[in-house]
Amino acid sequence: MENKCIPILYEGEGSIIQPADLNAFRELNRKKNKKLESKLMTEEEAVDRFVKSGDYIGFELYGTVRSPMNMVRALIRSGKTDFRLAGQGVHEADLLLGANLIREIDFTYIGLEVFGVSGNVRRRVESGDVHNVVEWSNAALTWRFKAAAMGIPFMATKCMLGSDTLKRSAAKVIECPFTGEKLALVPALILDVGFIHVNRADKYGNCQIDGISGFAFEMGRACKKLIISAEEIIETDEIREAPDRTIIPYYLVDAVVHAPYASWPGEMSNSHEKDVDHYNFYLSKQKTQEGMDEYLKEWVYDVPNHQALLKKIGHDKLESLKL
Amino acid sequence: MENKCIPILYEGEGSIIQPADLNAFRELNRKKNKKLESKLMTEEEAVDRFVKSGDYIGFELYGTVRSPMNMVRALIRSGKTDFRLAGQGVHEADLLLGANLIREIDFTYIGLEVFGVSGNVRRRVESGDVHNVVEWSNAALTWRFKAAAMGIPFMATKCMLGSDTLKRSAAKVIECPFTGEKLALVPALILDVGFIHVNRADKYGNCQIDGISGFAFEMGRACKKLIISAEEIIETDEIREAPDRTIIPYYLVDAVVHAPYASWPGEMSNSHEKDVDHYNFYLSKQKTQEGMDEYLKEWVYDVPNHQALLKKIGHDKLESLKL
Amino acid sequence: MNTEYNPSELLICLASRVMEDGNTAFIGTGIPMLAASLAQNMHAPNLIAVFEFGGTGAILEKLPLAVGDTRTFNKALHASGICDIMESAQRGFIEYGFLGGAQIDAYGNLNSTAIGDVLKPKVRLPGSGGGNDVGSCCWRTIAIMKHDKRRFMEKIDFITTPGFISGPGAREAAGLPPNTGPYRVVTNLCVFDFDEKTKRMRLISLNPGVTIKDVKENTGFEILVADNVEQNAPPTEEELTILREKVDPDGLYR
Amino acid sequence: MNTEYNPSELLICLASRVMEDGNTAFIGTGIPMLAASLAQNMHAPNLIAVFEFGGTGAILEKLPLAVGDTRTFNKALHASGICDIMESAQRGFIEYGFLGGAQIDAYGNLNSTAIGDVLKPKVRLPGSGGGNDVGSCCWRTIAIMKHDKRRFMEKIDFITTPGFISGPGAREAAGLPPNTGPYRVVTNLCVFDFDEKTKRMRLISLNPGVTIKDVKENTGFEILVADNVEQNAPPTEEELTILREKVDPDGLYR
């Protein structure tokens, strides 16, 4: 047949921090244990077994909601470092940056929502501690997960066209071979380790989320290792009674951590409110590195684990946050 | 920048029966009524208002399960004809072919499941009454809906590569600009009219489906007009109590038809069993055109509407099918 | 009832008035949330609020504090996820989108990524988030901005979210969906629309007590001025009552 | 207990024996459903049955009659939709896939589309359905076939579902995922695997009472024969009992 081709009209100048090898991902998915075996363990054990320095990591959440902060704190305490990050985050990314554990970011949003710019983001990016930043929109980053979840190397979109976000991304603009329109292609993104906090899971890792589910479905299917933390552990019979409520099936999961109030000081839908007092305290501390260091010492490094943290927060406080 | 391009390695020989114009689809979606207004109507009214001869139509279902047969029967009685069909079907496609209303098919599967080849498919395709057949796999057809639902003109896949299915499709094989691997691109597919039967809906068209949901999510978002038929009509308050159960939100929907036993003689999850006696009767009739004509006369043309059909089936029979 | 109001309250009321009953609006954190809730309580009971992480058609009885909090799907019609929402926008389902940023230019382009060179930023900002997606895919975007010369600039440092880019035809040339783009800019001084011919910002109405001169002095680029510049009515007593007693009883925005 | 069995019962038992405990299998309509249910009741209680329209990990207490019926998600671990299933397969999650067809060639390519020229077919068949997807994406596919010369052909009329296509390297050259392809062909006469070097069908075991000559006479292409052709054990009494009393008490397959 004649020599046809699709013009590549533009290529973003950003690098692909974590290139996706879909055939290797297939092999890995093939080898994942499909047996119904308990994966219950502590935060520390999960980090110890499944995370290593230099990994490309990501957290699923919305703002401070449903955020696996327990895993973030365990990660910081573990001493592992030099992570590369899928940067759609708030408090969790802020802690990691404050502890200076991040070197490269696929950046879509890291800030403090209504409270604006984060001191940690500014310090780490402006100083070059984070030495590589590639820009994306929220949708683009999520579609990168979605492509990986679908087992394909890219997704097409109209987003980012005409912007400097595109210029600083690693997307490629093509002319559609069917319609002739311009499209940005965004490459699949496979995490080394993903962290998701859910409303409930069984010990094998079958997960339910109440209400909106953010990007849990997509990211849950785009991880080499997936660590689930759950507000509640339920029996598998309960999963089997309502299988249309399962959003992440067990075979995707490597560890299940039981962690009520995992999102603290953030909130958890249907479970507890944000701890506004503590969050305001945090906001005041993160303004300077000194303050941040003090915060990390008191609330992360000096607290051995999530149970100890809950004790430190105190029963009355936790009760008062309940929905 | 230098002149880069993505090689098109192969193009399927099939035609694009229904080319997708995503900008026109955007305009149409913009104009769709977002107000909460009742869309309750009969099968006949829905067909009269939203379907015209020559339309490209599609049905969401799995085999004889959750099939909007009420809409198919109304369509046949309406006298409208010359449809083009998204061909993932069983009994519903068979009736339409038996009545000789189909001219072109994007064909993935039309058969009688364990009962094999359909007499109607054979007669219509072998005679040329259906004058254009383009081949796809089930996944490819669903991903064509998914692309439309996402608002993008194509989806990439590894499916169909190396087969004659690819050759007789309208897919294009390219070399991935990120990984160099070969991929088939399948074009977005936007239905003129889609038909979906659901477990329950409110009068505005917010829909719930129990258990597996087939391709309802994707197809429901890939229709210019969407006709919902529902086993049960519920109050909107019930929708609002469990918004994570909504699979098709009202603003996608043009008509809501209340139709218990809509799938008869097929089955409906959580509601009723297949009418095996009638289905066997049907299987015997569809073998010849004469038999098929008799069947259509008795069970479609001579039955004015779905209520009359339920009366003809009989209360005792319907009760006996209940789950 | 104290009918004096602060700049936030004014912005909330102005943004609220743009919201249409029975239409869809993509709601971001902060002022758009208050505006949407106020609109539902005033003229637009059937405003379909769409939130980035999956909420569609919520009844905003309590003010959401974040785009993913439980209140964004309170008695909602649909609770899905970010893909469904962004894909619905890309498919053309969302009419209005609300945006903010650190810098804006005459074409409505917005910067929320970096001040200075993005590769060596003077100030690293929080990034696009869903902003670029809203600005790319919603039909009509409304920017809500504090009005000063360091924000309203002739040339912004980084286009995070495209407005009309470089003028007429530029969005289409870039491949963005036709007939989309900036619709209004609402500030503490005034409201702009965009000139049909040049696609540049055009003053159409002034907030109470503000003059055209005030606007020009606080804007870093040359603005167009409509033939008849209207006066924006101050927040009404009804608006303020609902805003303070129902929408934001805790006074987060006072 | 009657230990005589019909050809369907033999096929079901042979297919069942291939299924591995604690692994995933993509189950199509008919014999694979019975085989999966039998396997769950015999050696593979944790066989994860995956059904095209969304069921994963069901307990097959009652025999599903179609790939979308309620029984395909009976007490399942996950009930989603066809995209999730097909994408899981494309992502590499599904080990075994069961296939059927009207014609098969020595490389395990299958035809379920048309007899004769597809553009003017002598017999129009039901089409690919999910067959092509299973054959493209699952790691190891198992074809279940009636064995005769009109079905086992040197050249089939249409490759609906790719096997090894034209031989070694052909799947990879076409762009299909590496290390995938036909694994077994189970027939009423025998079981084939595929020769590592030529990727052609190779006889590895014979059903009770069948000779190599029988197989050759009923096969339209030259077959390879393993060094040690084994004998397939007939259905055991336990298999038959479970099959008849538990899996298929209504005798649909007797």
Residue C167 lies in a domain: yes
Residue D71 lies in a domain: yes
Long-range CB contacts for residues B121-128, cutoff 8 Å, separation at least 24: B121/B93, B121/B94, B121/B97, B121/D124, B121/D126, B122/D123, B122/D124, B123/B97, B123/B289, B124/B97, B124/B100, B125/D121, B125/D124, B126/D121, B126/D122, B126/D123, B126/D124
Query: Residue C35 and residue C205: Cα distance in Å, rounded?
Result: 19
Mutate to test the interface with B, among D124, D146, D253 (most CBs of B within 10 A): D124
Alpha-carbon D117 to chain mean position: 26
For position C62, what pLDDT does the model report? Answer: 87
Mutate to test the interface with B, among C91, C96, C133 (most CBs of B within 10 A): C91
**Omega before residue B260 within 30° of 0, cis:** no
Residue B99 lies in a domain: yes
For position A1, what pLDDT does the model report? Answer: 47
**Omega before residue A177 within 30° of 0, cis:** no
Q: Looking at the 3D structure of chain A, how many domains does it have?
A: 1
Measured between beta carbons, which residues in chain A are less than 8 angstroms from residue C66?
A: 62-65, 113-114
Short-list B60, B50, B104, B110, CA closest to B82: B104
Residue B270 lies in a domain: yes
Q: Are B185 and B12 in contact (CB under 8 A)?
A: no
Give chain B's radius of gyration (CA, Å): 20
Query: Residue B242 and residue B256: Cα distance in Å, rounded?
Result: 20
**Model confidence at B2: pLDDT above 70:** no
Q: Within 13 Å of residue B19, how many CA atoms lie on the same side as its CB?
A: 8
Residue D57 lies in a domain: yes
For position B1, what pLDDT does the model report? Answer: 47
In A, residues 4-43, which contact C (CB 8 Å cutoff)? none
D72/B138 Cβ within 8 A? no
Measured between beta carbons, which residues in chain B are less than 8 angstroms from residue D68?
A: 61-63, 65-66, 212, 214
Q: Which residues pair with B65 in a beta bridge?
A: B62, B267
Q: Are A193 and A252 in contact (CB under 8 A)?
A: no
Say yes or no: D177 contacts chain A, CB-CB below 8 A. yes
In this complex, the residue of D54, D66, D126 whose CB is nearest that of residue B213 is D54
C52 is an active site residue = yes
Listed as ranges, residues in chain A with pLDDT below 50 are 1
The ipTM assigned to this model is: 0.97
Query: How many C-beta atoms surround the C-beta of residue B184 within 10 A?
Result: 30
Say yes or no: C65 contacts chain B, CB-CB below 8 A. no
Q: What is the mean pLDDT of residues D59-69?
A: 87
Residues of chain D above pLDDT 90, percent: 91
DSSP state of C1: -
Cβ-Cβ contacts under 8 Å for B298 (sequence gap 6 or more): none
Say yes or no: A242 contacts chain B, CB-CB below 8 A. no
Distance from CA of D228 to the nearest CA of B (A): 33
Q: Which residues pair with A59 in a beta bridge?
A: A195
pLDDT band, very low/low/confident/very high, at D65 (cuts 50, 70, 90) = confident
CA distances D88 to A27, C78, D97, D133, Å, are 13, 25, 13, 11
User: How far from each other are the two terminal CA atoms of chain C, in whole angstroms?
Assistant: 15
Q: What are phi and psi of D115, to 5 degrees?
A: -95, 130
Residue B37 lies in a domain: no
Measured between beta carbons, which residues in chain C are less than 8 angstroms from residue A109?
A: 126-130
Say yes or no: A156 contacts chain C, CB-CB below 8 A. no
CATH number of the structural domain spanning residue B282: 3.40.1080.10
Query: Residue B52 and residue B68: Cα distance in Å, rounded?
Result: 18
Query: Residue A183 and residue C181: Cα distance in Å, rounded?
Result: 18
Residue B76 lies in a domain: yes
Closest residue in D to B182 (Cα) is: D175
A182/C127 Cβ within 8 A? no
Contacting subunits of C (3+ beta carbon pairs below 8 A): A, B
Size of interface A-B (CB pairs under 8 A): 102
Measured between beta carbons, which residues in chain A are less than 8 angstroms from residue D90?
A: 150-152
Residue B275 lies in a domain: yes
Query: Residue A163 and residue C99: Cα distance in Å, rounded?
Result: 15
In this complex, the residue of A148, A152, A240 whose CB is nearest that of residue D77 is A240
Residue D59 lies in a domain: yes
Residue A243 lies in a domain: yes
Q: Are A93 and A87 in contact (CB under 8 A)?
A: yes
Say yes or no: A152 contacts chain D, CB-CB below 8 A. yes
Measured between beta carbons, which residues in chain B are less than 8 angstroms from residue D86?
A: 138-139, 142-143, 159
Q: Write down the H helix ranges in B79-209.
A: 91-98, 119-127, 138-150, 164-167
- Residue B217: give the domain boundaries: 8-21+43-321
Residue A29 lies in a domain: no
Q: What is the mean pLDDT of residues B260-267?
A: 97
Distance from CA of D25 to the nearest CA of B (A): 17
Closest residue in B to D253 (Cα) is: B114
Say yes or no: C3 contacts chain B, CB-CB below 8 A. no
Q: Which two tokens stand for residue D208?
A: 């009770």
B240/C77 Cβ within 8 A? yes
pLDDT band, very low/low/confident/very high, at B6 (cuts 50, 70, 90) = very high
Say yes or no: A126 contacts chain C, CB-CB below 8 A. yes
A241/D88 Cβ within 8 A? no
Which residues of D have a catalytic role annotated?
52
Short-list B111, B45, B51, CA closest to B81: B51
CATH number of the structural domain spanning residue C98: 3.40.1080.10
Distance from CA of B269 to the nearest CA of A (A): 13
Residue C195 lies in a domain: no
Q: For every residue of chain A, which 3-state class applies, written as one string?
A: CCCEEEEEEEECCCCCCCCCCHHHHHHHHHHCCCCCCCCECCHHHHHHHHCCCCCEEEEECECCECCCHHHHHHHHHHCCCCEEEEEEECHHHHHHHHCCCEEEEEEEEECCHHHCCCHHHHHHHHHCCCCEEEECCHHHHHHHHHHHHHCCCEEEECCCCCCHHHHCCCCEEEECCCCCCEEEEEECCCEEEEEEEEEEECCCCCEECCCCCECHHHHHCCEEEEEEEEEEECCHHHHHHCHHHEEECHHHCCEEEECCCCCCCCCECCCECCCHHHHHHHHHHCCCHHHHHHHHHHHHHCCCCHHHHHHHHCHHHHHHHEC
DSSP state of C153: B
- Residue D178: give the domain boundaries: 7-189+234-247
Instruction: Please tell me the least confidently modeled range out of A13-22, D19-28, D217-226, D245-254.
Output: D245-254
Q: Within 13 Å of residue B128, how many CA atoms lie on the same side as its CB?
A: 2
Listed as ranges, residues in chain C with pLDDT below 50 are none
Q: What is the DSSP string of C198-218?
A: T--EEEEEE-TT--HHHHHHT
Say yes or no: C129 contacts chain A, CB-CB below 8 A. yes
In this complex, the residue of B140, B146, B162 whose CB is nearest that of residue D174 is B162
Q: What is the mean pLDDT of residues B18-47?
A: 97
Residues of chain B above pLDDT 70, percent: 99
Q: Looking at the 3D structure of chain D, how many domains does it have?
A: 1
Q: Are B77 and B99 in contact (CB under 8 A)?
A: no
Residue A38 lies in a domain: no
In this complex, the residue of D79, D90, D137 whose CB is nearest that of residue A243 is D79
Mutate to test the interface with B, among D128, D134, D164 (most CBs of B within 10 A): D128
Instruction: Please pick, among C9, C52, C95, C239, the residue that the annotation labels catalytic.
Output: C52
CA distances C65 to A69, B37, C15, C16, C146, Å, are 19, 30, 18, 17, 20
Distance from CA of B249 to the nearest CA of C (A): 6
Q: What is the mean pLDDT of residues D54-72?
A: 90
